[in-house]
Chains A and B, each alone.
Chain A
Amino acid sequence: MDEPECDDVLDDWFIESLKTYKDLYVYQLECPTKVIEWTSGRTVCVAGYGSSKNEILELRLPPKLFANENKGLCAERDFKVVHGGFTDGPVHCLKHVPGTRCVVSNDGRSSELQVWELGGEDSDVIRRTGSVAGRSVVSEGGSRIAARLSSQPQVLHGARSGDVQLTELTSGQPLYKLETDSADPLSSLQFVTDAVFLACCCNGNVYIADTRTAAAPQLSPPPVSSGESVLWWTDASSGSSCLDPTSCRIVRLSSSGQAVISDLRNQREAASQAQLDVQSHHCNLDDVTVSWAPALDGCIAVSGFSGAVQIYNTSVWRTELQEAQPLFQHRGHTVSSQPDDGVFVTSHVWHPERPRTLLSAASDGSVHVWDWVDQSAGS
């Protein structure tokens, strides 16, 4: 009785999706990933988070997605594994080093980073080529990683605000250390320009530091929140377009669903905020992601609270806390799973250039790439 009902739901959603998406392609991994990292405009790297051996894969997106003009001429609608390898442990964080075929990962257990070569035309193997030591040996929850935006292969990494370090990849030499007395666990590290970065902490603190100076970082405390002991996730609007770091917008999202937008220049006042429609009872809070759209002004995507990815338009938010409804919800991962499985989205990323294209991955191993239709727009 249950099976036909599930199929019915999926069939109905499929028909609806023909109108609500411009493109939608699905892929099934053998094991779920909690990382999706662009390695080029058409390829992404994913990796498993099982306790021992896992696959690390570079997937090429369906060519049909990119055939904007002559969609009919391009039949190829499947993802393809172009490179693959094995890890010795789970992958909790993975970043691509721009300008190289190199990715850096962390297993969430220690502060050490693994360095990988993705392989070129001649090989389909992803090889481990080395490691980078963390600044402190003991680490719970694993390190966050950010790759420097310039052409020098350097990575910023650390598990807490007190052990953040910038390391040169080829030599393993530390180039910079964030000097602060605190030891707040990090939720993310992010470069906003080539030299300026944010160390975003789970308690809502955001440290703003400049790798060119030894000066202490600036601290932006968390917004006033309604809930006790909430966790916070942060994202800053796209680094490469943010030439003046003090005019960068950041979004902070709490585990109770409060989202606050502020300006780095004016950190104490909330520019705007909203209470998002998220149900946090089922979620794996490790996997919450909030991200600015690189090419769609004012839009953010939120995932990890459920099996859906929600898109919000923050430009209509005000300074007083009000409920916000999503502009769009991608429910593909829930619709295609059994109702009792409690599928949740583990990760999402925006395409760097295509305004409404996102990739999302879920706990059931599904990976979707989708280009949604803005039905509120006059088009």
Chain B
Amino acid sequence: VWVPEIASEELLRCVHTEEYLNSFINGRINEQEQRRTGFPWSKGLVRRCRYETGGTLLAAEVALHRGLACSTAGGTHHAFPSFGSGFCLLNDLAVAAKYLISSSPGRKVLIVDLDVHQGDGTAFIFKEEPCVFTFSVHCGKNFPLRKQQSDLDVSVEDGLEDEEYLSTVEAHLPSVLEIFRPDVVLYDAGVDPHWEDELGRLRLTDQGLYRRDLYVMKTVVSRGVPVATVIGGGYSRDIDKLALRHSIVHRAATQVWRECGM
């Protein structure tokens, strides 16, 4: 188990604008902007977001060394360079990906975002970046209504269940890996496709999420590509149930670790 460092302003600046970072860190986000993010500003919130970003970056670095690493947070994919949105204030996946491609020229990063909401912030940030491929599977009717353009968007219908959902992922992931040939994968294992999720409009079961995570990690790892995971979104008033659901990816990772002799 590793503990992350707080993401420095310099690190965050590789994705976010200086103006936004100054306002965000110093508490000058106006009320309208705060409403859009869903959070009232506080110092604690800023710290938490910065540590969260640090955590995703650490997971990516550990994955590069050990093949597989899981953060216990992360997936704030609705954050754009100059504003936050939908409970996301800093885009941790974007910061980690940017760091990875800058620290090793020519390195390619694939972001697999299976949160039920489109990773619109991430898609926007890497629209013109050939070294980062953004792949999002999301429910068309979920937030945001205004979609961005990922490198590959798969929009699914309401009510999709385990089998069809898994087939959808299986239909796209291998070919993306084959064509893009990433050096590292960042995987957003959001649990909001679960049928009990209060916001998500899909119908996956616990088993479905487990099979999904197992499939993604195994497919990537068996190609010799390191993968770092983040927990992504999940919305439920029952925190215990939700936490358990978020831990599915960690348990699937343990299984992959064992099976792949890592």
Contacts and interface: CB of A to CB of B under 8 A. Distances in A.
| B is a partner of A | yes
Interface of A: 4, 7-8, 10-12, 14-16, 18-19, 71-73, 75, 77
Contacts of B87: 15
A15 B195 contact: no
B161 to A, nearest CB: 11
Nearest to A336: B145
Interface residues of A: mostly helix, strand, loop or mixed?
helix
B36 interface: yes
Nearest to A73: B196
B238 interface: yes
Interface string B133-151: 0000000000111100000
Given A72-B198, A73-B196, A75-B196, A15 B85 contact: yes
Contact of A8 (B146, B199, B238): B146
Interface string B110-122: 0000000000000
A14 B86 CA distance: 9
6 contacts: A7-B145, A10-B145, A15-B85, A15-B87, A16-B36, A72-B198
A16 B40 CA distance: 11
Contacts of A72: 196, 198, 236-238, 241
B38 interface: yes
A15 B143 contact: yes
Interface of B: 35-38, 85-87, 143-146, 195-196, 198-199, 201, 203, 236-238, 241
Contact of A15 (B35, B146, B198, B203): B35
Given A73-B196, A75-B196, A16 B144 contact: no
Given A72-B237, A72-B238, A72-B241, A4 B146 contact: yes
Contact of A18 (B38, B144, B145): B38
A72 B191 CA distance: 13
A79 to B, nearest CB: 14
Nearest to B203: A75
A19 B37 CA distance: 12
A71 B35 contact: no
A73 B238 CA distance: 10
Contacts of A15: 35-38, 85-87, 143
Given A7-B146, A71-B237, A72-B238, A12 B198 contact: no
Contacts of B236: 72
Residue among A10, A11, A72 with the most chain B CB within 10 A? Answer: A72
A75 B146 contact: no
A72 B237 CA distance: 8
A144 to B, nearest CB: 39
A14 B143 contact: yes
A293 B85 CA distance: 35
A15 B142 CA distance: 12
Contact of A16 (B35, B195, B196, B199): B35
Contacts of A16: 35-36, 38
